[in-house]
């Protein structure tokens, strides 16, 4: 049967650009029960998606890999920070059992039993909460946040105060700059990785 949903913050015909990827991924992770990272370098855009999933209260999964594999270092970092290790699909299903009554109504009583034992009343599905989008973040000069950042971590509340941007606008811009490899999040705030502004 035909059906489906097309969901985007951009009108039809918009050309794809790297700057749009964090926004798209935020929608994808928000609509998902969990995010599985299969491969990721230490500066991969997949790690941005992983962080978005955690901020949205979603489950985070990662495949382990060799310590010597550059493509596995991001996954190993996620596992070290608490992501669920996945060896096969059953690992994911076991972690998501508390959602089963809402998303797998066709399960037999014996199949649904683990979920019932875990909790007599399963939590209601979380509805994605997407920050309101504004055009002001797109029209701000691209170096506004970069000028406010340096090699020492700067808290986001100070960035909001010094740039005049809203928290939402500031987060959107930081995500784009992070994907471009110009900034990074560190303990205590954000730092600039490049000298270019």
Other Cβ atoms less than 10 A from the Cβ of 37: the count is 22
**164, 137 Cβ separation under 8 angstroms:** no
Burial class (CB in 10 A: 0-12, 13-18, 19+), 26: buried
Instruction: Report the C-alpha gap between 154 and 192 in whole angstroms.
Output: 9
Q: Give Cβ neighbours of residue 171 (< 8 Å, ≥ 6 apart).
A: 131, 156
Beta bridge partners of 36: 61
Instruction: Report the C-alpha gap between 101 and 26 in whole angstroms.
Output: 26
**pLDDT at position 185, please?**
81
| Backbone phi, psi, residue 142, to 5° | -65, -15
CA-based torsion, 11, 12, 13, 15: positive or negative: positive
For the whole prediction, is pTM greater than 0.85?
A: no
Instruction: Report the C-alpha gap between 30 and 14 in whole angstroms.
Output: 22
**pLDDT at position 130, please?**
39
Instruction: Report the C-alpha gap between 128 and 56 in whole angstroms.
Output: 7
Instruction: Report the C-alpha gap between 125 and 102 in whole angstroms.
Output: 7
The per-residue pLDDT string of the chain (197 residues; one tens digit each, 9 = 90 and over) reads: 577 888 888 888 888 888 888 888 889 998 888 999 998 988 888 888 999 999 888 999 999 888 888 888 999 999 999 999 998 888 888 888 877 666 555 444 444 444 444 444 444 444 444 344 444 444 444 567 888 888 888 888 888 888 888 877 787 778 777 777 788 888 778 888 865 44
């Amino acid at each position: 049967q035909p059906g489906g949903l097309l969901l985007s913050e951009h009108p039809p015909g918009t050309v794809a650009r790297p700057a749009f990827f964090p926004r798209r991924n935020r929608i994808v992770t928000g609509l998902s029960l969990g995010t599985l990272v299969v491969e990721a370098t230490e500066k991969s855009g997949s790690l941005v998606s992983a962080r978005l999933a955690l901020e949205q209260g979603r489950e985070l999964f990662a495949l382990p890999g060799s310590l010597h594999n550059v493509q596995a270092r991001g996954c190993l970092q996620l596992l070290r920070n608490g992501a669920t290790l996945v060896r096969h699909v059953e690992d994911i299903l076991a972690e998501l059992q508390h959602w089963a009554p809402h998303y797998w109504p066709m399960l037999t009583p014996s199949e649904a039993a683990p979920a019932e034992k875990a909790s007599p009343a399963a939590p209601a599905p979380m509805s994605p909460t997407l920050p309101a989008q504004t055009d002001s973040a797109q029209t701000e000069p691209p170096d506004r946040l970069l000028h406010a950042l340096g090699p020492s971590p700067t808290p986001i509340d100070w960035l909001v105060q010094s740039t005049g941007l809203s928290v939402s606008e500031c987060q959107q811009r930081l995500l784009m700059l992070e994907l471009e490899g110009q900034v990074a999040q560190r303990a205590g705030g954000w730092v600039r990785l490049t000298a270019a502004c």
